[in-house]
A and B are shown apart, each in its own frame.
Chain A
Amino acid sequence: MRLTATTVIALRALRRNKLRSVLTALGIIIGVAAVIAMVSIGNGAKSLVEGQIASLGRNVISVFPGSATTGGMRGGWGSSSTLTLEDAQAIEREVVGAVAVSGEVRDRQQVLANGLNWNTSVLGESPGYLGIRDWELAAGAMFTLADERSTAKVAVIGQTVVSNLFPDVDPIGQTIRIRNLPFKVVGVLKPKGFNFFGSDQDDVVIVPLTSAMRRVSRRQNLSGILIQAQTPESISRIQQDITDLLQQRRGGGEPDFTVRNQMELADAATATSRTMTALLGAIAGISLIVGGIGIMNIMLVSVTERTREIGIRLAIGAHDRDVRMQFLIEAMVLSILGGVLGVALGIGSSEIVSSQLGWPVLVSTTAVVVAVVVSAVIGIVFGFYPAHKASLLDPIDALRFE
């Protein structure tokens, strides 16, 4: 096979028609660029969401009041107030592998200190809460079990609260007033930024769960229970154990609570973006096929236009295979060229999108390789018919062609 020579011939032909070559490849360029940009931006968004889901804590299982079948999370936290402190204590006591359990009440309250005031979310939690969420303290210490037992008026506060209430004072040891009750600040959290629901995770005041229930929100029911599983493998088992335990405590019947793990939350959060990616991927795929048809179209025109050239080649000794390979290589070079330019364009445009919108972009090597290979395959598939047609020409007829 005179492959090198044939490749040289094909490249010369493409070089002679630079503008046409680029225009022919344009369909592929745009298709591949779309695929690469989609995948890069999608991956970036996914990694962002995953990072934020991970910031919820490690191996976390959440229990919400309200049944999944009757609305579940849609009812919102605490919409039907059926979870109790005793439920949380029972889980802590009886579920094997639950390394930390924290019942939780959430409330928005006006907090005063230092002559300033600030509306923030007040969380009632157990001392294990920071461990569950993987949160760390910047200064001071977390309140203790003793504080929880004695419904102590102590608080750990986030950075947003610090900057609003204690702009130039060290908050440790200071007093904040919630519902006119004085709470002593014992700890300050490290900054964490926004979570993937868009809320400021630093805008919190954490007080012992019992203090929150008796003194702040004054209610008997929990907004939720957070459980940390020992290992990722044990999550689903523990999830089942919790469900069984709570069901048993309620004496069966329709469950009035929902147990979710972190992965399920992540799935819910990425489901929309997955649908979008699939949709855009389909559009990109279609544009690749359209690009392939464009190549086929131009190659067919090119074969007709170059009938005399083909005749000359056949007359001086080209085999049908040489002619077929020449046109096939031309189509492949066009589509691979389109693929490579498309990858460059795709990476470039996703970088622009990321810098404009502040999204992270993850260019996947797999996507790049797949895109280039797919475009080569498109070149072969859509180049084959024109190439075959060219190779079937009769030298005399081709030479006579006007």
Chain B
Amino acid sequence: MNWFFQFMNSSVGKKITMATTGLLLCLYLVIHLFGNLFLYAGPEAFNLYVERLSSLKPLVRVIEVILTLIFVFHIWNALRLTLANRRSSGEISYTEYQAHEVSALSSRFMGVTGSILFIFLVVHLQTIWYTFQTHHQEGQFYAVVTGNQVGFGNPVYAVFYLIAMFLLGFHLKHGFQSAFQTFGIRYNKYGKLIEAIAVIFWLIIPATFATIPIYFGFLKGGF
């Protein structure tokens, strides 16, 4: 076990933990988006989907626990990485530092985008997830999501959701390809393929998530 702790506490090990948990979260995004798209198929389809999912309760609970652990690991590790790195840069910072000349904005703001995503996550769980757990009446799920209480009919939530999806895209603009660099497979024959898949994750997936508040909030006149 000694090698394991040494690995986890080394700078490279922390990065590998970041990358592993980050990519697992990306995988979850795909599954989550798949479910959300049932909204476009209408109330019956979406409600049926959620009920089917709820009928798999034991399995769903296990997945939820695993997902929570991945999140906790990702966030805890992000926190210690960011704090340790801040310590490394010393007490005096540069008076003049042309960061934008040498690195991308998204790469320098991972801690900031991640922290706002964390706030979004808490609000999202508290509104949608918690309401789903406590609204057991059949056929209420679609109404909750599109309604004007905690759903996209509420302009505050709709706009917050849009901002969060923008930041998710920004987080993954750096994060997705960075994870492959961390695994050491960024600059080889897979490089082009990774770049192409990265576009799906930082652009297409967040944008598709974002269509939902736009459609159910702004276009369908939810508010």
**A pairs with B:** no
**B residues in contact (CB < 8 Å) with A:** none
